[in-house]
């Protein structure tokens, strides 16, 4: 009967997976973490709606390896892509003359022209204030092709960037580099795919090796993985049925479930080995393990459940589905494993040698290390980086980091912002002479702001041609004299300043935004008559970072509160509850210290770690404290629990260590913090906690004796 139930449940899980697998999609953009009413995201979407573009991609080409004929072919071919809104390159750049009052025309001259059957570059392009360090580096060593992405394609970076690469490869373009938000999203998408399909087998193998060493039998080691794998299939299937998008945070859900959930099977099978000589070994094991396994799941879920209360959608999904997966792993351990365990004839239980006592010198070293670390941690925590830079998600030697460095060195900027100016009243821009003078002064001050290396606007054209700004707005809206550049500068009811910055981190973006806002307020005649919207993907990351930092404290308080409540419910003793929480408090403290030491910023993924460590390390504390209360002897409690804690901890360490191989530093940082945190948690539970428990009992005994 048990076997039939087990296989029926596994079959149901497979059906759920197959029903939902085609409904999954991937969203590597920062917008996946924010609600639609987020101010930065809303500003970005408003500008996209007005100007018809939603971000840009820069193609960087070595001028010595790219003939002008090839540059023109590349530009023409890129224009044929469906998702392209505009393409700007040196071959489309025009030298503008002064407005001719007799012909009422602006004389134009191509910077790239045909001479003796060959395309030639006019060297004046290198110093043109509009094009220099945009379409060509100031020293002429690199060409740039600026591609703006049509509105509605912001979530298609997983297809549009490969299409662009395919187009460039078909033209036999050598040594090109791509940079831009969509390029970073594509690289993130590839890492998400790897973490979804490539890394789980290695995680399973790492965990399997630990359990093979423990059980000395491959079949039992394999069985530990059945509950979490079944749970993952059910959760992934449900996510697909709900048509959810997987992002750079929620992609870790399957890995977390497998790494954490495998421990429940290990505990069940360890107990089964001990009971194998009994007549009703399976029933006895289920009876003995169902409460500890479910209790362990609940405490781990407490660490993740706090994310459900946060106002970030990705964190909420992470909390809901990891908690559900952990709970299902525990349930499947109690319900499915009993029908799959081998018969007693095939099991040869291995007697584990008792753990060695920790010598006194090691105990003293750990105690002093904890004291010193606890004193130093607050000072270290103050140095934790509080910024997000999407390019720093990638390793130093990655292609995208090399492209970013080339872009910064050659063109002097790495990210761009759009500052849209729209009238507060009326449907079209109406500029007075005072408005124009103020805008000219405003632009001059924009160029002097820290973090701004270049500003491009309609005022540049007005100065070059001598055409008043008001007439220039009308001329560009009614003609195609400036080609694709028009959409970068003006629309029917808005003008746009394009700000280019060498900095790509969220803190620099925040400083720039504050500086721009202060500058706007210093021009009341502009502030009173026009709306200003500053937007850029770096500002969206700034909003994500602010939400992460603001929610971190709330998350920790909720996690700790839930764990304290569970512990008090279990022990019904405030003293035992406090003692059991000491390892998780110290582990959390040291986790932040490790962030400072490793220079790991508080970001999307690392914000998860403290709550996770609380939920995992508390299992060790509960395990030890239960046996300590039963025996009243810390040494016997240590001998009873040390092997299980070590096996559990090492399996978690092995699983998370696989993420160290990820090309995305986002996941490498998770691995570093989880591995170091778990090791600290094990050491604190096995060395410090017995010492504290023993001293506490001696103190209580003396107090009772004195009474």
Pair 351, 274: CB distance under 8 Å: no
* Euclidean distance between CA atoms 398 and 401, whole angstroms: 5
Give the distance from CA 119 to its chain's centroid.
45
- Identify the residue whose tokens are 């028009």: 486
Q: What percent of the chain has pLDDT over 70?
A: 95
Q: Where are the beta strands (DSSP E) in 329-462?
A: 415-423, 454-456
C-alpha separations of 139 from 90, 128, 507 in Å: 14, 12, 30
* Euclidean distance between CA atoms 387 and 205, whole angstroms: 35
Pair 421, 531: CB distance under 8 Å: yes
Q: Which domains does the chain have, with CATH numbers?
A: 2-24+186-349+358-387+541-706 (1.20.1640.10), 53-150 (no CATH), 400-535 (no CATH)
Model pLDDT, residue 81: 92
Strand partners, 132: 136
Q: Is the pLDDT of residue 248 over 60?
A: yes
Q: Is the pLDDT of residue 636 over 80?
A: yes
Reported as a pLDDT band with limits 50, 70 and 90, residue 348 is: low
Residue 148 tokens read as 């703006």
638's CB contacts (< 8 A; 6+ apart) are: 355, 357, 624, 686, 690
Q: Is the pLDDT of residue 16 over 90?
A: yes
- Around 520, how many Cα atoms within 13 Å sit in the side-chain half-sphere? 18
3-state percent helix, strand, coil for the chain, nearest multiple of 5: 65, 10, 20
Q: Is the pLDDT of residue 699 over 70?
A: no
The arithmetic mean of pLDDT across residues 614-632, rounded, is 84
Residue 30: CB atoms within 10 A of its CB come to 31
Q: Is the dihedral of CA 690, 691, 693, 694 positive or negative?
A: positive
Q: Is the pLDDT of residue 58 over 70?
A: yes
Reported as a pLDDT band with limits 50, 70 and 90, residue 413 is: very high
* Euclidean distance between CA atoms 625 and 689, whole angstroms: 9
Model pLDDT, residue 13: 93
Reported as a pLDDT band with limits 50, 70 and 90, residue 344 is: low
Q: b/e for 311-324, b at 16 or more Cβ within 10 A?
A: ebbbbebbbbbbbb
Model pLDDT, residue 706: 64
Model pLDDT, residue 106: 78
C-alpha separations of 669 from 33, 393, 464, 514, 602 in Å: 19, 9, 50, 30, 10
Of 94, 89, 144, nearest in space to 124 by CA: 94
pLDDT digits (tens, 9 = 90+) for 489-530: 888 889 999 999 999 988 899 999 999 999 999 999 999 999
Cβ burial of 114 (10 Å; 0-12, 13-18, 19+) is: exposed
When mean pLDDT is compared over 82-86, 531-535, 555-559, 686-690, the highest value belongs to 531-535
Pair 443, 484: CB distance under 8 Å: no
Q: Is the pLDDT of residue 101 over 70?
A: no
Rg (CA), the chain: 31
200's CB contacts (< 8 A; 6+ apart) are: 254, 255, 258
Model pLDDT, residue 241: 95
Model pLDDT, residue 60: 96
* Euclidean distance between CA atoms 540 and 297, whole angstroms: 35
Residue 13 tokens read as 């899980």
Model pLDDT, residue 403: 94
Quick check: helix, strand or coil at residue 539? Answer: helix
Reported as a pLDDT band with limits 50, 70 and 90, residue 402 is: very high
Pair 603, 612: CB distance under 8 Å: no
Q: Is the pLDDT of residue 343 over 70?
A: no
When mean pLDDT is compared over 5-19, 461-475, 626-640, the highest value belongs to 5-19
Q: Is the pLDDT of residue 303 over 90?
A: no
Pair 134, 90: CB distance under 8 Å: no
The torsion defined by the Cα of 436, 437, 443 and 448, in degrees rounded to 10, comes to 180
Model pLDDT, residue 482: 66
DSSP string, 31-51: GGGS-TT-HHHHHHHHHHHHH
Reported as a pLDDT band with limits 50, 70 and 90, residue 137 is: very high
The arithmetic mean of pLDDT across residues 369-378, rounded, is 91
Model pLDDT, residue 586: 93
Higher pLDDT, 532 or 638: 532
Reported as a pLDDT band with limits 50, 70 and 90, residue 129 is: confident
- Average model confidence (pLDDT) for the chain? 86
Reported as a pLDDT band with limits 50, 70 and 90, residue 167 is: very high
Q: Is the pLDDT of residue 345 over 60?
A: no
Residue 644 tokens read as 């299980």
Q: Is the pLDDT of residue 667 over 70?
A: yes
Reported as a pLDDT band with limits 50, 70 and 90, residue 704 is: low
Report strand pairing: 494-501 vs 530-535: unpaired
Q: b/e for 534-562, b at 16 or more Cβ within 10 A?
A: bbbbbbbbbbbbebbbebbeebbebbbeb
pLDDT digits (tens, 9 = 90+) for 428-446: 788 888 999 999 999 999 9
Quick check: helix, strand or coil at residue 142? Answer: strand
Of 35, 267, 270, 28, nearest in space to 158 by CA: 28
Model pLDDT, residue 51: 86
Q: Is the pLDDT of residue 472 over 90?
A: no
**Reported pTM:** 0.82
* Of the candidate ranges 55-69, 227-241, 309-323, 394-408, the one whose mean pLDDT is the lowest: 309-323
* Of the candidate ranges 119-133, 260-274, 312-326, 353-367, the one whose mean pLDDT is the lowest: 353-367
Model pLDDT, residue 228: 94
Q: Is the pLDDT of residue 152 over 80?
A: no
Q: Is the pLDDT of residue 634 over 80?
A: yes
DSSP string, 404-418: HHHHHHHHS-SEEEE
Model pLDDT, residue 474: 78
Q: Which helix (H) or strand (E) holds 230?
A: helix 226-241
C-alpha separations of 660 from 419, 616, 669, 670 in Å: 40, 20, 8, 8
């Amino acid at each position: 009967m048990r076997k039939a139930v087990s296989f029926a449940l596994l079959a149901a899980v497979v059906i759920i997976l197959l029903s939902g697998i085609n409904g999954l999609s991937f969203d590597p953009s920062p917008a996946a973490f924010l609600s639609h009413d987020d101010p930065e995201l809303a500003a970005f979407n408003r500008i996209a709606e007005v100007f018809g573009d939603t971000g840009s991609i820069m193609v960087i080409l070595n001028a010595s390896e790219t003939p002008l004929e090839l540059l023109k072919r590349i530009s023409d071919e890129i224009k044929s892509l469906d998702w392209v809104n505009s393409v700007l390159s040196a071959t489309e750049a025009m030298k503008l003359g002064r407005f001719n009052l007799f012909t009422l025309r602006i004389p134009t001259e191509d910077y790239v022209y045909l001479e003796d059957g060959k395309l030639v570059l006019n060297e004046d392009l290198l110093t043109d204030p509009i094009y220099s360090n945009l379409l060509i580096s100031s020293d002429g060593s690199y060409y740039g092709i600026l591609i703006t992405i049509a509105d509605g394609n912001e979530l298609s970076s997983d297809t549009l960037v490969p299409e662009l690469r395919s187009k460039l490869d078909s033209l036999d373009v050598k040594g090109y580099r791509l940079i831009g938000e969509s390029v970073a999203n594509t690289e993130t998408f590839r890492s998400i795919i790897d973490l979804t399909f490539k890394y789980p087998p290695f995680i399973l193998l790492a965990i399997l090796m630990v359990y093979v060493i423990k059980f000395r039998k491959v079949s039992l080691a394999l069985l530990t993985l059945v509950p979490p794998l079944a749970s993952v299939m059910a959760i992934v299937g449900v996510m697909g049925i709900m048509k959810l998008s997987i992002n750079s945070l929620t992609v870790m859900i399957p890995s977390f479930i497998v790494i954490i959930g495998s421990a429940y099977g290990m505990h069940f099978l360890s107990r089964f080995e001990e009971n194998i000589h009994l007549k009703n070994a399976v029933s006895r094991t289920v009876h003995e393990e169902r409460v500890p396994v479910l209790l362990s799941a609940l405490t781990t879920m407490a660490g993740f459940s706090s994310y459900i209360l946060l106002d970030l959608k990705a964190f909420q999904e992470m909390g809901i589905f990891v908690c559900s997966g952990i709970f299902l792993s525990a349930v499947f351990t109690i319900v499915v494993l009993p029908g799959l365990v081998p018969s007693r004839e095939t099991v040869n239980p291995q007697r584990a040698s008792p753990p060695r006592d920790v010598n006194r010198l090691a105990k003293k070293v750990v105690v002093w290390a904890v004291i010193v670390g606890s004193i130093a941690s607050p000072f270290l925590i103050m140095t934790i980086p509080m910024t997000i830079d999407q390019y720093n998600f990638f390793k130093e030697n990655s292609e995208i980091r090399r492209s970013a460095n080339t872009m910064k060195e050659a063109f002097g900027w790495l990210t761009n912002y759009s500052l849209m100016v729209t009238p507060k009243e009326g449907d079209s821009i109406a500029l007075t002479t005072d408005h124009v003078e103020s805008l000219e002064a405003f632009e001059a001050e924009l160029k002097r702001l820290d973090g701004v290396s270049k500003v491009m606007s309609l005022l540049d054209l007005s100065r070059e041609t001598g055409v008043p700004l008001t007439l220039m707005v009308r001329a560009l809206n009614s003609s195609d004299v400036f080609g694709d550049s028009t959409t970068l500068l003006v629309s029917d009811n808005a003008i746009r300043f394009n700000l280019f910055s060498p900095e790509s981190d969220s803190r620099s973006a925040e400083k720039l935004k504050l500086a721009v806002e202060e500058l706007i307020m210093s021009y009341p005649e502009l502030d009173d008559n026009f709306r200003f919207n500053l937007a850029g993907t770096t500002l969206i990351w700034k909003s994500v970072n602010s939400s992460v930092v603001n929610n971190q404290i709330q998350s920790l308080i909720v996690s700790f509160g839930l764990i304290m409540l569970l512990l008090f419910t279990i022990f019904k003793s405030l003293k035992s509850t406090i003692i059991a929480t000491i390892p998780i408090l110290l582990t959390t403290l040291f986790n932040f210290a490790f962030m400072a030491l490793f220079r790991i910023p508080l970001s999307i993924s690392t914000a998860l770690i403290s709550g996770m460590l609380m939920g995992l390390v508390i299992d060790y504390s509960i395990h030890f404290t239960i046996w300590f209360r039963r025996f009243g002897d810390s040494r016997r409690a240590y001998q009873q629990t040390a092997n299980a804690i070590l096996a559990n901890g090492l399996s978690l360490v092995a699983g998370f260590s696989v993420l160290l191989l990820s090309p995305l530093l986002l996941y490498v940082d998770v691995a570093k913090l989880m591995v170091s945190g778990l090791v600290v948690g094990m050491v604190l539970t096995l060395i410090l906690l017995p010492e504290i428990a023993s001293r506490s009992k001696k103190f209580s005994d003396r107090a009772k004796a004195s009474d």
